[in-house]
């Protein structure tokens, strides 16, 4: 049994849902492992440029998300919308998530959430490797081992395979799946509050105990 967490480092709804998912993980206290799967929604030909020209559109979307979820976007992030162009490409941060899975799998969920915080609260450019260096330091991950995995051809291929899995099993982000014996049930597609996710999981666990 495990939970599959399909998310993307450039997904604003993933940022908005991150507190609920972290709370669920904390409540489970390691009894049910999480597997983080980056989705690559802005990878390759789907990458986009954030620039001052589209700052208004970003803020409008952000305001709607905050109104619905209560999750605030950071002042530094808001300032960055007016200051510079940033290439929004999911590949680099997704490779970082997969490198963490290989280096410190028990910290991957926190690592992914730190990336979302770096992007949407601190306004950082996720193409810069210093972002991941700082997160490794915060979480106590060996930086040398991490960057060996991060830079490897195997890690890039694993990342592309994660994208294919996400494309197959998720239509909205984040998607949280409960997997048992090869069967998968949806806990959430898109934003859900913690109470609703926990309720759905509790029902599935009760069903599992009865079978």
For the chain, what are the domain ranges? 2-210
| Tens digits of residue pLDDT in 125-137 | 999 999 999 999 9
Between 31 and 156, residue with greater pLDDT: 156
Under 8 Å CB-to-CB from 49, ≥6 apart: which residues? 85, 86, 87, 88
Checking if the pLDDT of 138 tops 70, the result is yes
In whole angstroms, give the CA distance from residue 184 to residue 152: 31
| Tens digits of residue pLDDT in 95-118 | 999 999 999 999 999 999 999 999
The proportion of the chain whose per-residue pLDDT surpasses 90, expressed as a percent, equals 90
Checking if the pLDDT of 211 tops 70, the result is no
Query: Average pLDDT in the 79-97 region?
Result: 94
Confidence of residue 33 (pLDDT cuts 50, 70, 90): very high
Checking if the pLDDT of 27 tops 80, the result is yes
Query: Average pLDDT in the 137-149 region?
Result: 97
The least confident of 5-14, 34-43, 173-182, 199-208 is: 199-208
In whole angstroms, give the CA distance from residue 9 to residue 163: 12
In whole angstroms, give the CA distance from residue 33 to residue 2: 5
* Contact between residue 11 and residue 42 where contact means Cβ atoms under 8 Å apart: no
pLDDT at 123: 96
Checking if the pLDDT of 169 tops 80, the result is yes
Yes or no: domain 2-210 corresponds to CATH 3.40.30.10: yes
pLDDT at 84: 79
- Decide: pTM greater than 0.85: yes
Confidence of residue 141 (pLDDT cuts 50, 70, 90): very high
**What's the chain's average pLDDT?**
95
């Amino acid at each position: 049994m495990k939970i599959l967490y399909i998310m993307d480092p450039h997904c604003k709804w993933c940022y908005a849902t991150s507190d609920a998912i972290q709370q669920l993980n904390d409540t489970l206290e390691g009894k049910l492992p999480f597997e983080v799967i980056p989705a690559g929604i802005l990878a390759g030909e789907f990458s986009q440029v954030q620039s001052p020209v589209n700052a208004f559109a970003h803020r409008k979307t952000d305001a709607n998300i905050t109104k619905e979820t209560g999750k605030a976007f950071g002042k530094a992030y808001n300032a960055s919308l007016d200051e510079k162009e940033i290439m929004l490409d999911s590949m680099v941060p997704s490779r970082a998530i997969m490198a963490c899975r290989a280096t410190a799998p028990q910290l991957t969920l926190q690592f992914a959430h730190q990336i979302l915080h770096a992007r949407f609260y601190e306004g950082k450019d996720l193409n810069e490797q210093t972002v991941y260096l700082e997160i490794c330091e915060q979480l106590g991950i060996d930086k040398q081992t991490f960057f060996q995995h991060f830079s490897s051809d195997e890690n890039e291929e694993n990342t592309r395979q994660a994208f294919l899995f996400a494309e197959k099993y998720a239509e909205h982000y984040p998607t949280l799946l409960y997997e048992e014996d090869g069967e998968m049930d949806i806990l959430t597609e898109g934003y859900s509050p913690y109470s609703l996710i926990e309720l759905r999981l509790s029902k599935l666990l009760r069903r599992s105990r009865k079978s």
